[in-house]
Amino acid sequence: MAEVSLSDLPADKAERYAVVRREIAAVIAGEPSHVARYATATSLLVQAFAPRFFWTGFYLVDPDKPSELVVGPYQGTLGCLRIPFGKGVCGAAAAQRATQLVPDVHAFPGHIACDSRSNSEIVVPVFDAAGRLAAVLDVDSTELAAFDVVDQAGLEAICADLLTTP
């Protein structure tokens, strides 16, 4: 496994995402387990972006209930176990197959408050090599409007690699 050092991360956010993306790709290269890939991305994203990233993790499409998400690898306080497609921010991302950038979760219809300290959120879909939705990456912050288009671009690039790289 590649040796990873995140001690000298650039201050610029876009550059920081580029470094984290390369580090994740280096660690997961050759690893067939999707759970191992999700866990690696979670760990390296939290190392790079905490404490702004208050809750970071993946909800996986349940193979036994294909319109339901079930919690996967995450770091943070206790998360909800299951989210139906269409419900809350994660469910909206899954149903629409599109990123949800939510500056104030309290203004989002149907938002699921797993932890009342979360105030803003970004959820990015993860597709497998065949283009099927496999999971969503959910990042929550205690700050309002903690995420912007740079976060969106950075997280979408990381999620695009996750299940498609050898």
Residues that bind ligand SME (CB under 6 A): 55, 79-80, 83, 88-90, 111-112, 114, 118, 121, 138, 140
Q: Which is nearer to ligand SME, 23 or 121 (CB)?
A: 121
Q: Which residues pair with 117 in a beta bridge?
A: none
Q: Which is nearer to ligand SME, 27 or 137 (CB)?
A: 137
What minimum distance in Å lies between the beta carbon of 80 and ligand SME? 5
What minimum distance in Å lies between the beta carbon of 11 and ligand SME? 28
Q: Distance between CA atoms of 45 and 159, rounded to whole angstroms?
A: 12
What minimum distance in Å lies between the beta carbon of 32 and ligand SME? 27
Q: Which residues pair with 27 in a beta bridge?
A: none
Q: What are phi and psi of 15, to 5 degrees?
A: -65, -35
Q: Which is nearer to ligand SME, 114 or 163 (CB)?
A: 114
Residues 59 and 80: beta-carbon distance below 8 Å: no
Q: Which is nearer to ligand SME, 44 or 90 (CB)?
A: 90
User: Residue with the closest Cβ to ligand SME?
Assistant: 88
Residues 114 and 89: beta-carbon distance below 8 Å: no
> Smallest Cα–Cα separation from 122: which of 141, 103, 101?
101
What minimum distance in Å lies between the beta carbon of 40 and ligand SME? 19
Residues 100 and 88: beta-carbon distance below 8 Å: no
